[in-house]
Structure formats: structure tokens, C-alpha cells
Amino acid sequence: MRKIQNIIAAILFAVVGGFTAILIYTNYIEKPKVVTISEPRAVQYASLPSSPQGVDLTVAAENSVKAVVHIQTEFQQQGYSSSGNPFFDFFFGDPYRQQEPRMQQASGSGVIISSDGYIVTNNHVIERSDKINIILNDNREYEATLIGTDPNTDIALLKVKAEEDLPTIRWGNSDNLQLGEWVLAVGNPFNLTSTVTAGIVSAKARGIGIIGGQLPIESFIQTDAAVNPGNSGGALVNTRGELVGINTAIASRTGSYSGYSFAVPVSIVRKVVDDLKEFGEVQRAILGVSIQNVNAELSKEIGLDKIEGVYVAGVVEDGAAIEAGIKEGDVIISVNNVIVNSVSELQEQISKHRPGDEVDIEIFRKNKKKHLTATLRNMKGGTGIVKNALTVLGAELEEVDQKLKEDLNIGGGLLVTNILDGKLKDAGIKEGFIITHVNKQRVSNVQEIKEVIKMSRGGVLIEGLYKNGEEAYYVFGLE
């Protein structure tokens, strides 16, 4: 009998031990759960109007999808080849030999913001494009003109000529977005046109360090709405179908959506669009400070009761901040009574303004808070509007066509087709001159020459050649 009991005990021990091992193994590997739901369940959200059926997104989706367009671009990519013999390449030519440029295609999304054909998208969607095609939700097609771009916010503005009014999305207010609020991402992922996905606002004023430009501004709306390649430039809308952001990026280790997406808030987009339409350039307002986030250690060191504000690590000589009385070591608490608790939040508030605007800055200094008034500056240090580079140059320019590039053996450039009153005329440049370099930087399109001129200080060096092959250079001052 005892022998039988021992056998049963051994079997039970083995079974329990094996079951325990399975549990440990399962917990360690952590496989995803699969939950089958036989019928839809209504979910109530405290921040949204409740109803027996939950939140209705159908109206917002139907209205917004009509105003989101598919953008298809074409651009030339230069190819290179080697002879295959490194010694031959070293002694008899460049390691790589230039081949004929190849036409490449790319696609993304855009949002119609006015019935007369203005479309906002991301700068990276149309960057380097030779041709931009717009396809509407109803399959109408147009060729778009690039009005202007802002690499600092990754926003671009396009324009199409339509025979009739186009569908639009109403502007919303991204400042009023709440964490947990439902939003829709509308775009064309993987060339799947008119795709709508839903999620919630996961965070605001998020900086992720992906935007280029001289003075990048990042204050993204973070959501968990699924966004994939092709969604860039598309709409982020609230439950009322109002535009609250332009979808720009995803956080991914694979290149496809894996949890979070990021959109430029319309508080920044509207300012950029208005500037591009009115001036052809973004009027960037500069406070003139170097800043950093406040952490627990820094908060204790400077005597703050809580972790808040943005620390001023330095001030620019003759800038707006130092003129207003802001000093190194101050903590900026708010801008025009809007609380700022991170670098990205401060950048967002300043980016809403133009040079010459006065803003109220609340600072913390030596255990006291005080308000100061700062008059914002432009990128050149003044308070005036920065003129469009083409207005300054006084010329009508167009990109050099392929035949002329081949005839002159140049990679690209801008042909002066008409001389007006301006710097080029004063310098002696004639019609038919091809600008290939500005301040030693190669320029192949209007936007590139705008960017170089905008960042120039003092003198400008223009290099190029005429159609007969005669090379020439010209120098002039911007003042």
C-alpha cells in the first residue's frame, strides 16, 4: 500500500512541478493575450460626451477624409558607379563616376486648408521634388506649386488651381486638447488612400529630436493612432472633425507603426502657413536665450518650491531677453500667462509670434516671481519683418531644365529669367545668368536659395555662368 502511495505522490509531484515550470516559462516569455469579443462593447470616457454607444467618430471621419489628399512626388536621384578596379579609379578618375540621374517617386499626404487650393503638408514629403501631383479623395488630380517650406517645423505649403471650390477641414485649437481625448489620423499609408485610424492623445509638447533646420521647433502631439509611411502630412482631427495637427513621425524600431505617432500642433502650423502666404518666408521670433529643462536637482539648487518652468542657461548679447531684463539663472515660468514646464512648451509659445511682438514673460529669481516684457527679435537681430529672398534679389528665377544642364555640364542651378529692381541688378547680373552657388553652397531650387539668403549675414557671393558657358561671380551686401 505504501508503495502505491509513493508512486501516486511521485506522479503528483511531477505534474505539479511540470505545471509550475510551464507557468514560469510562460511568464518569462510573455506572449500576447488574444481576447475574442463576440459583440461590440460601449466604453465611456470622462473627457468626452457619453452616449449609450460610446464616442461617434463617423461624422468626423467622413468630413475630414474628403479634405485629405494623396501627394505623389517625382525627383531625380544622382547615381554613381565604380569601374570595379580601385587602382584604375585612383589613378585615372574619381573613385565613383557619375551616372545619368534616375527619376524616383515618393508619396505622402496633405490637407486642404482653403477652398481656393492651399494645401499643407510636411516639408520632408515634398523635399527635393521636381514635380508634385495631388490626388483628391474623389480621384481628381492636379499639379501643385510649392509656395514655401519651413524645415524648422517640417511644414510646407502647396497650391493647386482648381475649377471649383475644394473641400476643407476647419481649423481646431490644439491648445485645448486634453490627455486621453480621442483623435483621428487621416492619410494614405502604404499608398492605401483615404485611410482613417483612431487613438487618444498620449502626451503634448513632446520633443523627440528629429527635425532639422537651423533652429528646430518640436512640440509634438503624441497619440496612439496608427500612423505608417505615407501618413506624413496628413490630418490629425478631433471628434468634431477639426484639424488639430499634421501627422509627421512615428516611434518605431522597424520603420512601421509600433505604438506612438507624432503630429505638429496647429498652433504652430497656422502661424507657419500665414507667414508663407503673406511673406513667402516664416517670420521666426527669437527670445535670445539658451534653455534647459528643470529637474529635481536643479529645482532644489535654485530654491523652487516645485519642479516647474524652464531654466535660462545663457542669454544672447543684445537679444530680446537681455533687453527685457532676463538674466542667466532665471527660470521662465510662463509666456503671456501660459505655463511652460519644458523647452518644447516654451518654444511652442514663442513660435506663435512674429518679430516685433511684445510678450509677457514671468520669471523666478531669488525666491521671487516677477513679470517682464520682451520685444521679440528676428533671426538677424532686428525687430522688423524678414523679406522674401526673391524680393531682396529682385529677380524671377526658374530651375534649369535637363537639356541646359547637359549642354553646360552642370548638376543644376537657377536661371535668371527676368531682372527687376534689386540686389542682382545692382550687382550687374543679366538675364540668362545661371546661379549655381550662393555663399559656396550649391543651389538647385528656389527654396534652397531662400534658405541660404535668409541665413546670410553681411555679404553674399553669387557664382554661376551664362548660357554661352562664360563663368562669373558677383558680390553684394544685404543691408
Half-sphere exposure of residue 346, counting CA atoms within 13 Å on the CB side? Answer: 25
Half-sphere exposure of residue 200, counting CA atoms within 13 Å on the CB side? Answer: 11
Positions of E strands within 113-227: 118-122, 131-135, 141-143, 145-150, 155-159, 182-187, 195-206, 220-223
Amino acid at position 34, single letter: V
| Residue of 279, 311, 306 lying closest to 293 (CA atoms) | 311
Q: CA-to-CA distance for 149 and 200, rounded, in angstroms?
A: 29
Q: CA-to-CA distance for 271 and 240, rounded, in angstroms?
A: 22
Q: CA-to-CA distance for 138 and 66, rounded, in angstroms?
A: 8
Which residue out of 124, 194, 344, 353 is catalytically annotated? 124
**β-pair partners for 143:** 133
**β-pair partners for 264:** 246
Q: Is 275 a catalytic residue?
A: no
Contacts 24+ apart (CB under 8 A), 309-317: 309/333, 309/340, 309/341, 309/364, 310/340, 310/341, 310/342, 310/343, 310/345, 310/346, 312/363, 313/289, 314/289, 314/290, 315/288, 315/289, 315/290, 316/286, 316/288, 316/289, 316/290
Q: Is 154 a catalytic residue?
A: yes
Which residue out of 150, 154, 275, 330 is catalytically annotated? 154
Which residue out of 64, 129, 194, 232 is catalytically annotated? 232
DSSP assignment, residue 175?
G
**β-pair partners for 464:** 435, 472
To the nearest 10 degrees (0 to 180), the angle between helices 343-351 and 266-279 is 40
Question: Residues with catalytic annotation?
Answer: 124, 154, 232
